[in-house]
Amino acid sequence: MPDASEKAPRFEVHPARRDRALERLERLEIELPSWGFADTGTRFGKFLQDAAAISTEDKLDDAAEVHRLTGACPAVAIHVLWDVDGCGSGAVIEGARSLAAAAKTRGLRIGAINPNVFQDQCYRGGSLANEDPSIRRRAIDHLIESIAIAKEVGSDALSLWFADGANYPGQACVRRRKRRFEEGLREVHEAMPASMTMLLEYKPFEPAFYFTDLADWGMACTLARKAGPRAKVLVDTGHHLLGQNVEQIVAFLLDEGMLGGFHFNDRHYADDDLTSGSIDPYRAFRIFLEIVRFERDAAKAGEPAPPVAFMIDQSHNLKPKVEAMVQTVCTVQELSMKAFLVDLDSLDLAQSRGDIVAAEECLKDAFATDVRPVLAAWRAARGLPGDPLEACRANGYAAAAAAARRPRKQSGGGSYA
């Protein structure tokens, strides 16, 4: 710990911590979701945008623009049924190759592969937990096909979310459904190459409103462990009941070696899919702090910190798509850098002494720091816009995309004002 003569004044950033924060920021990659660039909405409808992506190529163009502005988003997560041609047929591998090539020409790579076992009518009673063994087989076959796609595009992550659950008491047997998930996930895990990680997401409700089969982090962690050693938990920051301490969940999963990644968004009520930090930036900061502290402790012990994937999962019904993504990426960079600036040595000391006020001030001081000027200079030194959001709003990309896409939408029978 630095002595008093080395310590910066309380409200100034210590140069050594600033430099460490910027060095860590160099390694921060934030994966974009292809589906976040298309027209999406709620159960009740959606408001269409002229500039929203129509094709997978449009989605990649938009993702490339976000990466060009921020320099932090070289990977794009895909939804298999929405982004890969030839699913369920022998043409799927060719479709995967075309997708990987299209991403590469735009300076991108394909990130996490997201299967879809919730959209087709056969899944109204669930997928892996369905009472019908033929439907369970169909779901598993799709997950295994998604692994083949991942191999073809060079992805190392299979990201799984299941809508399985029940709406009414007596509708289903919880234990039978749990065992079916165990069996299905084990088979999928065995089909994965050694380089691949299975990310298992959870959600307390919606579309199931009596119980969801993977309702919380404990259920996801249990099923991941039973699936196999390369299965981890994916934390969607919007998938929690009101009042849950998400950073405590993150800390537990880190300590258990079971945290695989995040879907970043924000929410006020439930799975609102709002831009990160728009509702509770201090909570996002505290989540990042748990990761930073874990990485520091692992380094002190001479152990490698397991990789944690940072991914965005947002589908904006009102905000312009590209702007919303740039806004989220900048917010994630700002809040993570604030976490990197926490004086962990002083925090450890305050905690060891039981000095609650001093410990809390370590967090508040870092969170109150305006890191935007430092980030602007850091970006400029790398040939990036100092303010990516301002550049995004001024460069005309959205207007050009709208002009190019509007005729295609109108010819497809859509109603676009």
Q: Which tens digit of pLDDT belongs to each residue from 248-303?
A: 999 999 999 999 999 999 999 988 889 999 999 999 999 999 999 999 999 999 99
Residue 48 above 50 pLDDT?
yes
| Percent of the residues in the chain that have a pLDDT greater than 90, as a whole number | 87
Residue 2 above 60 pLDDT?
no
Question: What pLDDT is attached to residue 90?
Answer: 81
Residue 405 above 60 pLDDT?
yes
Res. 37 pLDDT band, cuts 50 70 90: very high
Per residue, what are the HEC states of the chain?
Answer: CCCCCCCCCCCCCCHHHHHHHHHHHHCCCCEEEHHHHECCCECCECCCCCCCECCHHHHHHHHHHHHHHHCCCCEEEEEHHHHCCCCCCCCHHHHHHHHHHHHHHCCCEEEEEECCCCCCHHHHHCCCCCCCHHHHHHHHHHHHHHHHHHHHHCCCEEEECCCCEECCCCCCCHHHHHHHHHHHHHHHHHHCCCCCEEEEECCCCCCCCCEECCCCHHHHHHHHHHHCCCEEEEEECCCCCCCCCHHHHHHHHHHCCCEEEEEECECCCCCCCECCCCCCHHHHHHHHHHHHHHHHHHHHCCCCCCCCEEEECCCCCCCCHHHHHHHHHHHHHHHHHHHHCCCHHHHHHHHHHCCHHHHHHHHHHHHHCCCHHHHHHHHHHCCCCCCHHHHHHHCCHHHHHHHHHHHHHHHCCCCCC
Angle at alpha carbon of residue 38, lines to 394 and 125, rounded to 5°: 155
Distance CA(40)–CA(34), nearest Å, equals 12
Q: Are 109 and 103 in contact (CB under 8 A)?
A: yes
Angle at alpha carbon of residue 310, lines to 359 and 289, rounded to 5°: 5
What value does the mean pLDDT take over residues 174-188? 98
Compute the Cα dihedral for 124, 130, 135, 139 and give only its sign: positive
Q: Are 76 and 31 in contact (CB under 8 A)?
A: yes
What value does the mean pLDDT take over residues 314-329? 94
Residue 207 above 70 pLDDT?
yes
Task: Provide the pairing of β-strand 165-166 with 211-212.
Answer: antiparallel
Question: What pLDDT is attached to residue 9?
Answer: 61
List, in sequence order, every residue forming a beta bridge with 262; answer none if it has no partner. Answer: 235, 310
Q: Which residue has the tokens 């700002």?
A: 334
- Which of the two residues, 413 and 343, has the higher pLDDT score? 343
Res. 227 pLDDT band, cuts 50 70 90: very high
What value does the mean pLDDT take over residues 93-105? 96
What value does the mean pLDDT take over residues 368-389? 97
Q: What is the pLDDT of residues 111-125, one digit of tens each?
A: 999 999 999 999 999
Question: What pLDDT is attached to residue 409?
Answer: 87
Residue 3 above 70 pLDDT?
no
Q: Between the CA of residue 206 and those of 62, 98, 294, what are the distances in Å?
A: 29, 34, 32
Distance CA(417)–CA(405), nearest Å, equals 13
Question: What pLDDT is attached to residue 315?
Answer: 86
Question: What pLDDT is attached to residue 391?
Answer: 98
Question: What pLDDT is attached to residue 277?
Answer: 96
pTM of the model: 0.94
Question: What pLDDT is attached to residue 45?
Answer: 78
Question: What pLDDT is attached to residue 4?
Answer: 46
Record: fold of 27-408: TIM Barrel (3.20.20)
**Closest to 70 in 3D by CA, of 414, 324, 299, 339:** 324
Residue 160 above 50 pLDDT?
yes
Question: What pLDDT is attached to residue 10?
Answer: 65
Question: What pLDDT is attached to residue 8?
Answer: 54
Res. 11 pLDDT band, cuts 50 70 90: low
235 backbone dihedrals φ, ψ, rounded to 5°: -100, 115
List the 32-33 sheet strands across, edge first: 32-33, 75-79, 109-114, 157-160, 197-201, 231-236, 259-264, 309-312
